[in-house]
Structure 1
Amino acid sequence: MRNLRFNWLRVFVSLIICVPCFCSAQGNDVEINAKYHPTSRYVPPMDSSSRIGSSRQVEFTLSSHISLYKKIDTTTGKVKLLNGAFFGKKTPFSNSGYNKQILPDDLYSISAGISYYASINKTWAYTLFLNSALNTDFISVDYNDLFLTGGIQFIRQFSPRFRLGFGAIIHNNLGKPMFWPALSVYWNFGRRFNVDIRVPDEGNGLAYTIGVGYQYNDHFKLGFAFKPYTISYDVERKNEINNRLMNYWQLPFELSGTYTRGHFGYTATIGFTALRSFAYAEKDIKNMFTKYPYHSLSTNLIFGAGIKYRF
């Protein structure tokens, strides 16, 4: 049963104050994506005798970027940008054959955020970003369901075709502040190829992108990317540890094609997940290196489609 007594006003205020999710967009858009993972065999922990169960997974994602402020100094060429973003994700699982509950039926991630970009001179710039997300199964919701992330990245523009960024992020996935490195690389080589590395990438949880793109023409491009991500949820589990923290890892390799015409962009994706793994842990940094039993789903294909509208 959903927790109807939870104070939604407090959550809304927290999301606005904590301003989530890394965003470097310089325009306005809204995008809807869906990814389908066919039925996969459950892979239990090493010390488990259970060998039954399977799950089918779907990911629905809605995102939007809004340019809040833009200033260009025509004398010095310095640029200042303030951008906002919203991300929402629903992940339903169709579970069958288990002798006890392993995976929740539904997982949700909702975040809204802001980022600030400013150039220092002709070759250097920096960006500040702040994150706040509600990651939950909506069964029992409290402030343990709020996950915060923020950071800074410095960007060096070596040439119009190559830029490098480095910095750090801070998050509270284990209940206390933890630091993580941040890196971005964009290299446009040849006439049509580019390398794109974003650590972290924008989106739900801590997402990463390591990809190669090919611009076939003005309307169509192809991309191949390794896009691992980890996301933590607070879920209700009977007869489990108190804090209900679910850490979820996914390691997908994706081939995508995007066709753009006017304000619209259409994307189709196919790929496979080398790993989908999750563990139930305690939200306490002192247990960071504690080895909790990991559950997994077997390697399987991914099929996806999305549409973006720029305005």
Structure 2
Amino acid sequence: MSDAKIQLRAVSISVALPLVFSEGRTVLTNQIYYRRRDFSYKGFPGSNPSINDIHDLNYTFTLQHGLSEKWALLAIITPGLASDFEATLSADDFNFQVVTAFIRQFSPQFSFGFGAVYSTQFGQPIPLPVLAINMNNGENLRWDTILPVRSEFWYTPTPKLDG
């Protein structure tokens, strides 16, 4: 079993529609996201594990609202489906996640916040605290994270590609 290996290939696509209200103080974003993950197994004794591919389909509604010059509210609601479609869909194939966070803008390059997440994505309903951090160097690097929900690192090689 020490030579057992699992390889994962993933392809994803998403489409988002942001809507701006209240002179930019409120942004509502609707997003649809699809990801297919293919697994291949090598070196497992006997038969390979039974999961070969998983399809994820999620809808995400995001609300960002400026409460003051320094503080903002972030709310995210994500119902979704994750299944290999090998068997009949059951309640275990559906998941739901809600995130709320209050975020303080310390400078144009740094914001920090705190909040909570309620998620069924790990099989059981779990409430957890979250930390929201957004850092950038003012040019081409950006780190946007809501731990433990997501973390994104962005690099833009030229300003022509940004926005």
Under a length normalisation based on structure 1, what TM-score does the superposition of the two structures give?
0.46
Cα deviation for residue 165 of structure 1 reads 2.1
Q: Which residue of 1 aligns with 2:79?
A: 132
Partner of 1:241: none
1:96-175 alignment runs, 5 A limit: 96-98=42-44, 99-140=46-87, 141-173=89-121, 175=123
Structure 1 position 181, deviation (Å): 2.0
> Once superposed, what is the RMSD of the aligned Cα atoms?
2.7
| C-alpha spacing 1:176/1:66, structure 2 compared with 1 (3 Å) | same
Say if 2:133 and 2:146, in contact at 8 Å, map to a contact too.
no
Q: 5+ residue gaps in structure 2?
A: none
Q: 2:105·2:112 contact (CA, 8 Å) conserved in 1? A: yes
One-letter identity of the residue aligned with 2:74: T
| Alpha-carbon distance between aligned partners in 2 of 1:161 and 1:129, rounded to the nearest angstrom | 23
Residues in 2 aligned to 1:52 and 1:161: alpha-carbon distance in whole angstroms: 45
| 2:13 aligned partner | 62
Aligned match of 1:81 in 21, 27, 30?
27
Overall identity of the aligned pairs, in % = 19
Q: Displacement, 1:166?
A: 1.6
Please tell me whether the aligned partners of residues 132 and 147 of structure 1 are also in contact (alpha carbons under 8 angstroms). yes
1:184 aligns with 2:132: yes
| C-alpha spacing 1:84/1:163, structure 2 compared with 1 (3 Å) | same
Contact 2:135 2:144 in 1 (8 A): no
Which position in structure 2 is the counterpart of 1:94? 40
Which among 137, 159, 162 is matched to residue 218 of structure 1?
Answer: 159
Q: RCO (CA 8 Å, sep 6+): is it higher in 1 or 2?
A: 1
- 1:161 Cα offset (Å): 2.5
Query: How many residue pairs get matched?
Result: 161
Q: Which residue of 2 aligns with 1:208?
A: 151
| Equivalent-residue separation in structure 2 for 1:104 and 1:171 (angstroms) | 23
> CA separation of 1:215/1:146 partners in 2, compared to 1, >3 Å: closer, same or farther?
closer
CA deviation after TM superposition for structure 1 residue 142, in Å: 1.1
CA separation in 1, counterparts of 2:133 and 2:12? Answer: 25
Find the aligned partners of 1:58 and 1:112 in 2 and give their Cα distance: 22
- Write the distance in 1 (CA, Å) between the matches of 2:142 and 2:26: 26
Contact 2:142 2:155 in 1 (8 A): no
User: Structure 1: 5+ residue runs without aligned partners?
Assistant: 1-49, 220-259, 266-309
1:192/1:216 contact within 8 Å kept:
no
